[in-house]
């Protein structure tokens, strides 16, 4: 690969990284796993003047669950760490379902969840998952830290609300208030292909009733789609064939797919509704049976 020339920096602290980003004045890019950035450099779709390689930053490779059930994923936590995590398997069914479906095993060894969110590719899997879970990121800039809900992070394809001198430090999934359920389904032409359609669903139930629901859609719009109405249709009662059908219909309506070589818009909408139904009908009820 022969990218355009760029300056390469490998800071040793978050503060140093932020200073470099600030110095770059919008012409610097953060290099974490590099699984999206490097191909873009290769194709010269991206020609930043500076790369700020954050792989030497200490203490950012964590995946942990706080005492209250909050899940924290550091900026250098790799997809493979999430895939192998027993924490997720035990606590977070939507993330556990998505982790093995992200890209391919080679990409998962290097790529990071936080990097995927900041890349803001509408075909990225983690943004849908985090939207469904109501997650946020913590960004640090010269003026300090702030929280940004993942649902508010994306401005458009490959665009986020992060300032040029802000570094995303971690992603956070809030502690559930009920029993967490849900899943992730993805249609791809081949392992490692971008999603034709991906559907992330996260619900919380208490006393048999859905008290929180989130649905994120991958690959069916200019940005990751937060299917708020579809999720809303699930609230306030148990999952039933009727509420599932309603959510499927609303999710398909929320999708804004384009016809392309991955399939027609009609087909993609159909897959959204099929996947919503399939995920929700496999969510166990309080007796452990699928709805």
Partner 1 sequence: MQLDEIKIGGLGASRRRVEDNRFIRGKGNYVDDIVLPGMLHMEILRSPLAHARIKSIDTTKAWAIPGVRLVMTGETMASRNLAWMPTLSYDTQAVLATDKVRFQGQEVACVIADDPYIAKDACEAIVVEYEPLPVIVNPQQALAPGAPLIRDDKENQLDNVVFDWAVGDKDGTDRAFAAADVVSKLELHYPRSHPSPLESCGSIADFDRATSKLTVYMTTQAPHIIRAAVALVAELPEHMIRIISPDLGGGFGNKVPVYPGYVASILASILLERPVKWIEDKTGNLISTGFARDIYLHGEMALRKDGKILGVRMHTDSDHGAFFSDAQPSKFKIGLMHSTFACYDIPAAHLTARGVYTNKAPGGVAYRCSFRVTEAMFFQERMVQAAADDLGIDQAEFRRINFVRDDDFPHRTAFGFLTDSGQYGKCLDVGLEAIGYQDFLRQKAEAAKQGRLLGIGISTMTEPLGAGNSREYDILGIKMFDSAELRVHMTGKAILRTGAKSQGQGHETTWAQIVAHELGIPADDVTVEEGDTDTAPFGMGTYASRSTPVAGAAVAMVSRKIRAKARKLAAHLLEVSEEDIEWELGRFYVRSSPDRGVTIQECAMAAYSNVPDGLEPGLENNAYYDPPNLTWPFACYIATVEVDPGTGVWDVLNMVAVDDCGVRINPMIVEGQIMGGLTEAYAMASMQFITFDAEGNCVGSNFMDYLLPTAWETPGFELHEVVTPCPHHPIGAKGIGECATVGGPAAFVNAVMDAIKGIGVRNIDMPLLPDRVYEALTERHDVSGAPPVKMDDR
Q: Which residues bind partner 1 (CB under 8 A)?
A: 1-2, 4-5, 43-44, 104, 187, 189-194, 196, 261-264, 267, 270-271, 274, 278
Q: Pull the structure tokens for residue 264.
A: 């027609």
Q: Where on the phi/psi map is residue 111: left (φ > 0), alpha (ψ -120 to 50), or beta?
A: beta
Nearer to partner 1, 212 or 262 (CB): 262
C-beta of residue 223 within 8 angstroms of C-beta of residue 120 = yes
Structure tokens at 160: 């986020």
Give the nearest distance from C-beta 157 to partner 1 in angstroms.
Answer: 15
User: At a CB cut-off of 8 Å and minimum separation 6, what does 287 contact?
Assistant: none
Spatial distance between the Cα atoms of 175 and 172, rounded to a whole number of angstroms:
9
Q: How far apart are CA 186 and CA 216, in angstroms?
A: 12
Residue closer to partner 1 (CB basis): 145 or 189: 189
Q: How far is the CB of 57 from partner 1 (least distance, A)?
A: 28
- Shortest Cβ distance from residue 42 to partner 1 (Å)? 8
Could you tell me the maximum CA-CA distance found in the chain, to the nearest angstrom?
60
Closest to partner 1 by CB, 266 vs 286, is 266
For the chain, the residue count is 291
Least Å distance, CB 2 to partner 1, is 4
Give least dist CB 265 to partner 1, A.
Answer: 10
Complex with partner 1: residue 163 or 291, whichever CB lies closer = 291
Q: What are the strands of the beta sheet with 28-31, ordered from one edge? A: 7-9, 50-53, 28-31
Closer CB to partner 1, residue 75 or residue 217? 217
């Amino acid at each position: 690969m022969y990218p355009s020339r760029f300056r390469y920096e490998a800071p040793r602290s978050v503060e140093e990284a932020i200073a470099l980003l600030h110095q770059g004045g919008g012409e610097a890019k953060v290099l974490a796993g590099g699984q999206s950035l490097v191909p873009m450099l290769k194709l010269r779709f991206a020609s930043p003047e500076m790369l700020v390689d954050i792989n030497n930053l200490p203490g950012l490779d964590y995946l942990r669950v706080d005492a209250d059930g909050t899940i924290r994923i550091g900026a250098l936590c790799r997809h493979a760490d999430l895939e192998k995590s027993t924490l997720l398997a035990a606590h977070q069914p939507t993330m556990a379902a998505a982790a093995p479906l992200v890209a391919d095993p080679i990409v998962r060894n290097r790529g990071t969840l936080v990097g995927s969110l900041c890349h803001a590719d509408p075909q990225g899997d983690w943004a849908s998952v985090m939207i469904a879970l109501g997650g946020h990121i913590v960004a640090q800039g010269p003026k300090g830290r702030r929280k940004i809900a993942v649902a508010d992070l994306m401005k458009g394809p490959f665009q986020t609300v992060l300032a040029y001198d802000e570094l995303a430090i971690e992603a956070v999934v809030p502690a559930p208030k009920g029993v967490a359920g849900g899943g992730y389904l993805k249609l791809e032409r081949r392992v490692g292909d971008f999603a034709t359609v991906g559907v992330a669903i996260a619900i919380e139930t208490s006393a048999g009733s859905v008290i929180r629901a989130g649905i994120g859609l991958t690959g069916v719009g200019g940005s990751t789609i937060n299917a708020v109405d579809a999720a809303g249709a699930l609230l306030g009662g148990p999952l039933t064939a009727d509420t599932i059908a309603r959510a499927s219909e609303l999710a398909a309506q929320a999708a804004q797919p384009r016809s392309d070589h991955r399939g027609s818009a009609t087909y993609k909408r159909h897959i959204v509704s099929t996947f919503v139904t399939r995920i929700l009908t496999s969510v166990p009820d309080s007796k452990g049976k699928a709805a």
